[in-house]
Amino acid sequence: MKQNTLTLAVGALLVIIVALMLFVFQVRQSEVVVITTFGKPTRDIKEPGAYFKWPWPVQSVHRFDQRVQNFEDKFSEGLTQDSFNLLTSVYVGWKITDSRAFFPKFAGSSEPIREAEAVLERLLGNAKAAVVGKHPLSDFLYPAEQGNKFIEIENEMLQAVQTQIRANNYGLEIEFLGIKKLGLPEAVTQSVFERMTSERQVLISQSQYQGEAEAEKIRSEANRRAAELLANAEGQATQIRGKGEAEAAKSLEIFNQNPELAKFIFRLNALESALKDRSVLIFDQNTPPFDLFRSVSTNLVTR
């Protein structure tokens, strides 16, 4: 009796397990699930947990990874606006955003993610060719401070790919896109370097011209300021000379009234200049202005 009960319990447990496997399925955190009824998508599930379904062949469960997928396209060649061949490669991050739209496009493949990336690579090739053709080679090669337009070009590529994806309703979105590699075919490398050298020489000439113009401007300003200072100094000197001449004219009038006094003062000034520093003088008393000592010694003798 006990053996029969155990057998029934085990059988019932197996039936429950089989029923759960047939009627219940689990959705993981990283998955998005599409439920098809007789081959047609009828429900999509994004939230993790356990869900009910009818067993096959009524309903089937199709699982897709909803995490961001990364891939790099091929190193392909495109023609720039100024007719140079440029090799480019981009990296892309994308994810499934609408599983019910994604399912009919790629569910027929054994590897839908790889099939989606193959489609994306084709769309990227078209977008790169269109965007590269809108820009001259200098937009890709010059340093950032002189006009490098990487961010602008990457945004243009992203918008072009997004437009194609939405137009075809692939059920996915590009999360990010960036240029990974740039290259030039060997046939055009030398001509590109020569052109870059020529353009750099033009920039050098422009810089030299601007420097010379600025130096000439500075020199002109300095000459103008010097002329102004000299003119002001000359004016002040003229005023001082005028005042001195006026004072001299007053003294001359007095000297004209008393010529002997004038001679005496001139001789004293000359003597003062000769005796200004400590010195030993040997002179002739008959030579002006040293004849003053003769008159002084005569007066002393007379006294």
Residue 196 confidence (pLDDT): 64
* Full-model pTM: 0.54
Average pLDDT over residues 210-218: 85
Is the pLDDT at 2 greater than 60? The verdict is no
**Nearest-angstrom CA–CA distance, 94 and 169:** 14
Q: What angle do CA 73, 76, 78 make, to 5 degrees?
A: 130
pLDDT of 289 > 60? The answer is no
Instruction: Work out the mean pLDDT of the chain and round it to a whole number.
Output: 76
Most confident of 52-56, 91-95, 251-255: 91-95
Identity of the highest mean pLDDT range in 6-10, 98-102, 192-196, 246-250 = 98-102
Kindly report, residue by residue over 230-266, the tens digit of the pLDDT: 888 888 888 887 777 677 666 666 666 666 666 667 6
User: What local confidence, expressed as pLDDT, does residue 263 receive?
Assistant: 66
The pLDDT value recorded for residue 94 is 92
pLDDT score, position 286: 62
| Mean pLDDT of all residues in 153-160 | 91
Give the 3-state secondary structure of residue 276.
Answer: coil
Contact 184, 141 (CB under 8 A): no
Distance of alpha carbon 289 from alpha carbon 269, whole angstroms = 9
- Given a contact cutoff of 8 angstroms between Cβ atoms, the answer to whether 85 and 188 are in contact is yes
Section 190-212 average pLDDT: 73
Distance of alpha carbon 26 from alpha carbon 48, whole angstroms: 7
